[in-house]
A and B are shown apart, each in its own frame.
Chain A
Amino acid sequence: MTPSTVAYQVMWNRLISVVEEQAQALVRTAFSTSVREAGDLSAGVYDVAGRMLAQAVTGTPGHVNAMADAVPHFIRRIGRDNIRAGDVYITNDPWEGTGHLHDITVVTPSFHAGSLVGFFACTAHIVDIGGRGFGADAASVYEEGLYIPIMKLVDQGRVDDTLIRIIRGNVREPDQLVGDIHALATCNEIGHRRLVDMMGEFKLSNLAGIADFILENSRRATLECIAALPRAKASGEMTIDGYDRPVTLKVQLDIQADRILCGFNGTSPPDKKGINVPMVYTKAYACYALKCAIAPDIPNNAASLAPFVITAPENTIVNALHPAPVALRHVIGHMIPDTVFAALDKILPNTVPAEGAGCLCNFQVSLRPRHDQAAPKEAIRAEVLTFNSGGSGARPTLDGMNATAFPSGVMTMPIEATEHTGPVIIWRKELRRDSGGGGKYRGGLGQYMEVGAQDGYEFDFQAMFDRVDHPARGRDGGHNGAPTRIARSDGTAMKGKGKQFVPHGQRVMLAFPGGAGYGDPATRARGDVRRDLALGYISANAAMAVYGLTADEVAEVQNAVKQGEVV
């Protein structure tokens, strides 16, 4: 190794830090809660050929492969000859961006000393893009909101005012969206400035050398990880609720010497409603699952992702074609890792977790003054979106994580912040006892939420839940996690998906699903069962019925808790 190799190592670290700065700038300047509180975003740097060199750790896996694919689409659509300094490009194309109209992707070419040296790209999930609003109810992508094809947002420093006017005229919160587009452009600009600094410092005129170094090292490391695996084939499947009929996901894995093939033959056809998944998003989550299990330490870039070959037949729910509705593509997309794990477990036992809650337990509340009686004079309308999580699946040697997002990488919002965005009241948000599937290792607990409105308001509740009829399945004798439950406080039943009216004075009572257990619960360490009982993770009934604690043992634990002892 020569000092210049050390310099390349330094440059690689620097690029990773550059995209991290880029992502942080986006979090700090964004308006949508989904970006600023929940971190639903991504940022990356590319070489002139459009190959991704580094991607920010901040962000969510749904954007991984999608981002890697997006920049070549931009290069092709804009045309190489048409790429100029001072340009900024934009799209929310679900098929060439990151899977639904609610993700805006902005790409900025980076010029240094007069020539094009690379690109910066970033993506963010925005709260509203017009149309029916964020939800499952559309019958085609045309109903889901405004479509922005790949185009110039800024042409050599001149902002396209016509485009901005069209955007403003088509969305519910124009200031917020235009603010977010500003934030995306700013974030690429910050990345660009840092890159130019670095090139000056190391006296580079292009990124060819560092790109080769990054890609070659990543390719080799990924291939080493794959070569260490058994050559084997396996398949897995999982059935989930869907919109109004169940959806079955089927996956086939084929581990070869230098690549892993991952296909989705036999998967259900597209749904009539907006839970379909464009191929980019399927690739992202299938790839994410494989990387977690096989090559977790290798940074994401074009070379480390290339050996994972993801395919799906056209016109399946995981490769839905235009104009299928796709707004809630995450509901199905977040279930892909567990499906991949079902197959991988047959090849690599004791590696992957049992099934978890899977998709985020998100909902949107549209509040308005009550219509059946006089409402308060100063009453307003408001849209409130929240992200929440159920339990993750138990691991081969660890319990699942309570109320923690997996595979998604986003955060929840503080309820005190949520209650400042509109007249909503979150009455409850806490762990759900007995929801983690029993096992030698217990599934993570889901959570309870209760959602109401301030006096004088009624609301529409936009549900985006799965696992009502199909709870997470246990592995190796582990029990299933608890299913999703949703109802009104007066007992009226509600559906897991779609917009539903909630009259004045009523609350929505939610119980989010738990992760599944791993291994036979009878073999769980007694100390862990007693501890779970003391913590209230499990009830006395479950301690006896699922884990075989005696009534005396239960009484002993309960007594210890009263005395304030840690069990």
Chain B
Amino acid sequence: MGKPSLQMGVDIGGTFTDVVIEVGPKQFSSKVLTTYSAPEDAIIQGMQEVCDQAGIAISDITQIIHGTTLATNALIERRGARTALITTQGFRDVIEMRTESRFEQYDLNLILPEPLLPRQHRYVVRERISAAGEVLIALDRDDVERLIDEICVAGFDSIAVGLIHSYLNGAHEQMVREVIGARMPAAMVSLSCEVSPQMREYERFNTVVANAYIKPLMKSYLGRLEGRLAQAGAKCPIFLMHSGGGIISLESAAEFPVRLVESGPAGGAVFAAHIAARYGLDKVLSFDMGGTTAKICLIKNQSPRTSRVFEVARAYRFRKGSGMPISIPVIDMVEIGAGGGSLAHVDTMRQIRVGPQSAGSEPGPACYGRGGQRPAVTDADLVLGKLDADNFAGGTIRLDAGCAVAALENALGDKLAMNAQEAAFGLAEVVDENMANAARVHAVENGEDLGEYTMIAFGGAAPLHAARLCEKLGVGRFLVPPGAGVGSAIGFLRAPFSFEANRSIYMRLSDFDAGAARHLMTELQGEATRFVRSCDAQADIVAHFKVYMRYTGQGWEIPVTLSEEQAKAPDAAIFHQLFETDYRALFGRVVSGMDVEITVWAVNATTLVPPVDRIALARPGVDVTSDQSRPVFDAALGQVVVSGISKRRALNTGNTVRGPAVITEDETTIILPTSCRAICQSDGCIDVQITKARP
């Protein structure tokens, strides 16, 4: 490898398309508006800008890594292909009947989300596999041929196949694919036993339907992108970020596009994990707050936690259960409707409520002066002095404090007998508390105590709220890395090639079959490794082994990590011990005398990322004094304090800024309340200690 490697990261978000390139230690980035009709246009534009900045040619780039919200948006906006589902007779309505429950108990006019496919596009075949994976009713090929001919007349571009218990035995699904291949060769096919081989039919069927639904769109987009990049002179391979925090080949992405859902936020988590490694932090809370939502993720031992299922497109106030479950390997994070644009109102209990409705970019918060009437988080931040009206987004948008005050008074102040500043304080406290609650619940679900964590804050709005969030959570330190505004795209450059293969197979420890377990792990490792090998022919590949376990009779499994040795020489007693250790950490006590079972087996194959150089922490140096200041409301003190203003780019390694203060830059503003002291580290991170935790 003579030529230096030049990697480019590209993140298509809801508003902006971010492009980042690294040339040696230097980073160049651009932000251009996303071009919805042809998303590749914005990429080409951004790429050109970045290359110009860096003084390189497009043909010099050695690798492009891409993440996108296009798959997520296609699901949310229902812009997928003409798709049919073929399922087991008797189960036509699984994706429509959901869990048969209401996600909001007190709303008599509740509207349930529509399934992705209407009922007449769901077809059935006579067949049945048992819970042991045995054939109860064999699938008759003639039946399938007749059905495919019927489907052919109706003209579908994409077909999902989801049969009962196919995660144990995929033979029937494969036969359906053969027949489709023979009689409808142009149709794309997705099998549930390949897309998501996991127990629980609602989640599995929904996942295979989602995959089929977005496959033609994503395949065509990725094909066009490849062509346009080649045309523009790019000579390098293109890879895709997936929801699990790794990268996969363009071909795998086109086959399993559902794995691209939430790839942007996954990049953000990888970004935070990299910073964690640089600082040698084993317990990190990643806090990514943008215009519409906040994403919170726990990063232990420098790798983000992963999960097997999440919900996309929540239709009802982000309420759990109002979206669709997608069961794929995914970075485990909570996303709540709390961003700079989140709107506030007063409810019947005279309580201030914030989000999840957002002002978006049009009309935007009231202070944008574009006709927005309702107060948003940004309005409160402005009135509290956290933002400078003349220097927002590098001065591109001039904020109107008068509009913000009017909106706060009209919507909140008049109803609660508060002035604009009190209303702004109330609004900011509520949104900060919402985020703090989400973080707390997430920590408890994972058996963690946030008091031992360090926060890494990025995204445009996070540095404004990070300090208060830390005060509320009892977190004693937060870092604001440079490039926080394009964190996800930077994260893409840090991600390894990886693929997780998993299988739902039940095994009780009292009836443990070590041979079968060893065989299964070896098979999964082979499958996952093949995927990764197809991306990189040389790199060293390592495998991470995990089993999901529970007491027999419970419904929730907990992930238990195995060493390679434990996975290759499986032993029931060791598995039992590992399970109880993790169970105790989560729930405080174990239940003696109960049998334990394994429900899911998973192997994640990943290339090794180059070791991260640990940073030498700067000692507190010169205190920076500022000749400029402005009043900023300090929530913990409940009063306005005069805060010095420092420019981030003027800070040198070791410079110390004591709160109350604000540190400004083009993309965002870091707020340091009285409790804080910040040091500028040698990599440009602003490293903040909260000296007096909690109000």
A contacts, CB < 8 Å to B: 1-3, 6, 9-10, 12-14, 17, 20-21, 24-25, 27-31, 33, 36-37, 39, 57, 61, 173, 175-176, 178-179, 182, 186, 189-190, 194, 200-202, 217-218, 221, 224-225, 291-293, 295-299, 351-353, 387-389, 395, 397-398, 401-406, 409-412, 414-417, 419-420, 425, 427-431, 447, 450, 454, 534-537, 561-564, 566-567
Can you spell out 28 A-B residue pairs with CB atoms less than 8 angstroms apart?
Answer: A3-B422, A6-B426, A9-B426, A13-B437, A14-B437, A17-B437, A17-B441, A27-B555, A29-B587, A37-B555, A175-B593, A182-B591, A189-B588, A297-B349, A387-B100, A389-B101, A398-B111, A406-B102, A409-B105, A414-B200, A416-B164, A416-B201, A417-B200, A419-B130, A429-B91, A429-B97, A430-B90, A450-B90
B112 to A401, Cβ gap below 8 A?
yes
B107 to A296, Cβ gap below 8 A?
yes
Q: Shortest CB–CB separation between residue A445 and chain B, in angstroms?
A: 9
Which of chain B's residues 349-367 have a Cβ closer than 8 Å to chain A? 349-352
Known: A292-B106, A296-B108. 11 other contacts (CB 8 A): A14-B433, A17-B437, A298-B348, A388-B100, A402-B97, A409-B102, A412-B100, A417-B199, A428-B90, A431-B96, A562-B154
**B441 interface neighbour in A20, A402, A414, Cβ under 8 Å:** A20
Is B155 close to A, CB under 8 A?
yes
Q: A29: nearest residue on chain B (CB-CB)?
A: B587
Is B278 close to A, CB under 8 A?
no
User: CA–CA, A24 to B347, complex, Å?
Assistant: 26
Q: A218: nearest residue on chain B (CB-CB)?
A: B349
User: CA–CA, A257 to B622, complex, Å?
Assistant: 68
**A404 interface neighbour in B100, B416, B417, B474, Cβ under 8 Å:** B100
List 5 A-B pairs, minimum CB-CB distance, nearest first: A564-B154, A36-B555, A428-B90, A296-B106, A419-B131
Which of chain B's residues 623-659 have a Cβ closer than 8 Å to chain A? 638
Contact A10-B417, Cβ < 8 Å, known A37-B555, A218-B349, A428-B90: no
A429 to B101, Cβ gap below 8 A?
no
A13 to B105, Cβ gap below 8 A?
no
User: CA–CA, A173 to B593, complex, Å?
Assistant: 13
B638 to A3, Cβ gap below 8 A?
yes
A217 to B202, Cβ gap below 8 A?
no
Interface centre among A57, A415, A450, A534 (most CB of B within 10 A): A415
Inside 8 A of A411's CB, which chain B residues have their CB?
99-101
A21 to B554, Cβ gap below 8 A?
no
Q: Shortest CB–CB separation between residue B429 and chain A, in angstroms?
A: 5
Q: A174: nearest residue on chain B (CB-CB)?
A: B593
Inside 8 A of B576's CB, which chain A residues have their CB?
none
Inside 8 A of A564's CB, which chain B residues have their CB?
82, 84, 120-121, 151, 153-156
Is B271 close to A, CB under 8 A?
no
**B120 interface neighbour in A13, A405, A430, A534, Cβ under 8 Å:** A534
B91 to A430, Cβ gap below 8 A?
yes
Inside 8 A of A175's CB, which chain B residues have their CB?
553, 593-594
User: CA–CA, A182 to B119, complex, Å?
Assistant: 43
B554 to A36, Cβ gap below 8 A?
yes
User: CA–CA, A194 to B473, complex, Å?
Assistant: 12
Is B575 close to A, CB under 8 A?
no
Q: Shortest CB–CB separation between residue B472 and chain A, in angstroms?
A: 8
Is B425 close to A, CB under 8 A?
yes
Is B92 close to A, CB under 8 A?
yes
Inside 8 A of B437's CB, which chain A residues have their CB?
13-14, 17
**A13 interface neighbour in B150, B153, B434, Cβ under 8 Å:** B434
Which of chain B's residues 425-453 have a Cβ closer than 8 Å to chain A? 425-426, 429-430, 433-434, 437, 440-441, 444-445
Is B93 close to A, CB under 8 A?
yes
Inside 8 A of B90's CB, which chain A residues have their CB?
427-430, 450
Inside 8 A of B499's CB, which chain A residues have their CB?
none
Is B551 close to A, CB under 8 A?
yes
User: CA–CA, A173 to B553, complex, Å?
Assistant: 10
User: CA–CA, A561 to B684, complex, Å?
Assistant: 61
**A221 interface neighbour in B93, B155, B349, B434, Cβ under 8 Å:** B349
B554 to A221, Cβ gap below 8 A?
no
Q: A361: nearest residue on chain B (CB-CB)?
A: B100
Inside 8 A of A36's CB, which chain B residues have their CB?
554-556
User: CA–CA, A388 to B101, complex, Å?
Assistant: 10
Inside 8 A of B121's CB, which chain A residues have their CB?
564, 566
User: CA–CA, A290 to B164, complex, Å?
Assistant: 41
Q: Shortest CB–CB separation between residue A9 and chain B, in angstroms?
A: 6
Is B616 close to A, CB under 8 A?
no
User: CA–CA, A87 to B82, complex, Å?
Assistant: 60
Inside 8 A of B155's CB, which chain A residues have their CB?
563-564
Inside 8 A of A2's CB, which chain B residues have their CB?
422
User: CA–CA, A30 to B434, complex, Å?
Assistant: 28
Q: Shortest CB–CB separation between residue B147 and chain A, in angstroms?
A: 13
Which of chain B's residues 552-590 have a Cβ closer than 8 Å to chain A? 553-556, 586-589
Is B617 close to A, CB under 8 A?
no
B587 to A25, Cβ gap below 8 A?
yes
A536 to B101, Cβ gap below 8 A?
no
B426 to A57, Cβ gap below 8 A?
no
User: CA–CA, A17 to B435, complex, Å?
Assistant: 11
Q: B352: nearest residue on chain A (CB-CB)?
A: A9
Is B56 close to A, CB under 8 A?
no
B101 to A404, Cβ gap below 8 A?
yes
Inside 8 A of B695's CB, which chain A residues have their CB?
201-202
Q: Shortest CB–CB separation between residue B168 and chain A, in angstroms?
A: 9
Q: Shortest CB–CB separation between residue B335 and chain A, in angstroms?
A: 17
User: CA–CA, A200 to B151, complex, Å?
Assistant: 64
Contact A389-B100, Cβ < 8 Å, known A176-B553, A186-B588, A564-B156: yes
User: CA–CA, A3 to B424, complex, Å?
Assistant: 11
A13 to B433, Cβ gap below 8 A?
yes
Inside 8 A of B638's CB, which chain A residues have their CB?
3
Contact A9-B200, Cβ < 8 Å, known A29-B587, A401-B112, A430-B93: no
